[in-house]
Structure 1
Amino acid sequence: MATLLHIDSSVYPREASVSRDVAASFRKAWEAEHPDGTVVYRDLGSDPIPHLEGPAAAAGFVDPSEHTPEQAAAFRLREELTSEFERADAVLIGAPMYNYTIPSTLKAWLDHVIVMGRTTAAPTTTVAGKPATVVASRGGGYGPGTPRESFEFVLTYLEKVLGKEGFGLDVEFIVPELTLAESNPAMAGLVDLAKTSRAKAHEAAETRGKALAARFSA
């Protein structure tokens, strides 16, 4: 049975969050295709994990067999999150843009599961090749050639951390844009484009979810 690790990081509930809503389309398609699979869900928006602190960070550079009792205690949450990540067959991440980058709660999760010589910075990491899907919603337009292109630090960051320079995951990004168009009068002329972007994102999420679930069900 395949396991999907689903992480949401929006501070808003699904009815007010495009990243949650589009990620839900992926999950629905995954579960429909693979009803006997397991979904491990972490809602970092409503149940955030603590930011990484010094003792837990330092323990990551010591072989677990050599941990002192204090280091073992400090590393316990990192081990839980990292093992959960390693056990998953596929990963789904909702990563809305907040102030040009990812939510701090998602950064905290990444800081815990980036374990040098294990999940990253090794000839072959323990998660290499695992398929990952990131729903990277954003309120405006930050694509190539747009005035705000240089302000985009969600894809540029996650491509490095999740991709071949980091975990070595097989990453696909789904990017619904202009999500603030309907609530921002200054963006009124972009409402139709926003609706089209969101619809395409849902379609891409459903297609990706179905395809990955089918791969593991075969």
Structure 2
Amino acid sequence: MKLFRLDASIVPAASASAEIADAAEAGWTAAHPGAAVTRRHLGTDALPADAWTLATTAGFAPEEDRTPAQRDALRLAASLADELRDADAAILAVPLYNYGVSQHFKAWIDLVIAGAGPTNPLLENTPTALVTTLGGGYGPGAPREGWDHSTPYLERVLSDIWRADLTVIKRELTLAATTPGMESLRDMAQEQRSRALDAARAFGTRTLAAS
């Protein structure tokens, strides 16, 4: 059994998404003792910014005409796709930045698609936890309701393209504890944290039942 875990926080030491992903990983490894875990951290080990362009343009060039940089990009894209293809379960910890999908995480998605093809169901029936954290409130009635342009996109890629057996674990209001003006939201924020951690811990139990 193999677990693939990806983190995308740019502040690992204070990452709310990592805390939840840690709980999900602990639940999964407890259910699968001795299983291998492959980790990739885009926040601390970013992918080359030009890799997607190089991998994509290489696809339109005969192999003998490809540059060394294009060949390297194709190998990187293939290896990223293989990490997902080989997984028996996956945890993706993806914070919301600037109301959308951050460029370093989008680069990973684009490279995986370049390596596997645009319709390859890499995670078909694979138990997958999408852990996503948001600094403010984006739910019904919130001032920024509808401003979360990340989660729907991620659900579309993971569920509809890669065909994952998806569990979405979403925690909002992560900045309430430290941001002036959000004091009245701190109890709600703590409730969201507790629910997210409970859902993360349950992920291992769910994947055990599915395996």
TM-score (norm 1): 0.87
Question: Which residue number corresponds to residue 48 of structure 2?
Answer: 50
Kept in 1: contact 2:84–2:122 (CA 8 A):
no
Q: Give the 4+ runs in structure 1 shifted more than 4 A.
A: none
Q: Percent identity?
A: 37
Q: Structure 2 stretches of 5 or more lacking a match?
A: none
Provide, for residues 100-136 of structure 1, a one-character-per-residue CA deviation record: whole Å limited to 9, x for no partner. Answer: 11332211111110138x45325xx343222211111
Task: State the alpha-carbon separation in 1 of the partners of residues 73 and 118 from structure 2.
Answer: 20
Q: Cα distance 1:33–1:61, how it changes in 2: closer, same or farther (>3 A)?
A: farther
Matched residue type, 1:173: V
| 1:108-187 mapped onto 2 (5 Å cutoff) | 108-115=107-114, 118-121=116-119, 125-164=121-160, 166-187=161-182
TM-score (norm 2): 0.89
| 1:1-218 mapped onto 2 (5 Å cutoff) | 2-14=1-13, 16-51=14-49, 52-60=51-59, 67-68=63-64, 70=67, 71-115=70-114, 118-121=116-119, 125-164=121-160, 166-216=161-211
Q: Cα distance 1:119–1:3, how it changes in 2: closer, same or farther (>3 A)?
A: farther
Report how many residues are paired.
Answer: 207
Matched residue type, 1:24: D
Kept in 2: contact 1:133–1:174 (CA 8 A):
yes
Kept in 2: contact 1:34–1:214 (CA 8 A):
no
Q: Structure 1 stretches of 5 or more lacking a match?
A: none
SS of the counterpart of 1:72? helix
SS of the counterpart of 1:48? coil
Task: State the alpha-carbon separation in 2 of the partners of residues 181 and 100 from structure 1.
Answer: 17
SS of the counterpart of 1:163? helix
1:48 positional shift: 1.1
- Aligned Cα RMSD in Å? 2.0
Provide, for residues 166-218 of structure 1, a one-character-per-residue CA deviation record: whole Å limited to 9, x for no partner. Answer: 222222111111111111121000001001100110000000123214533xx
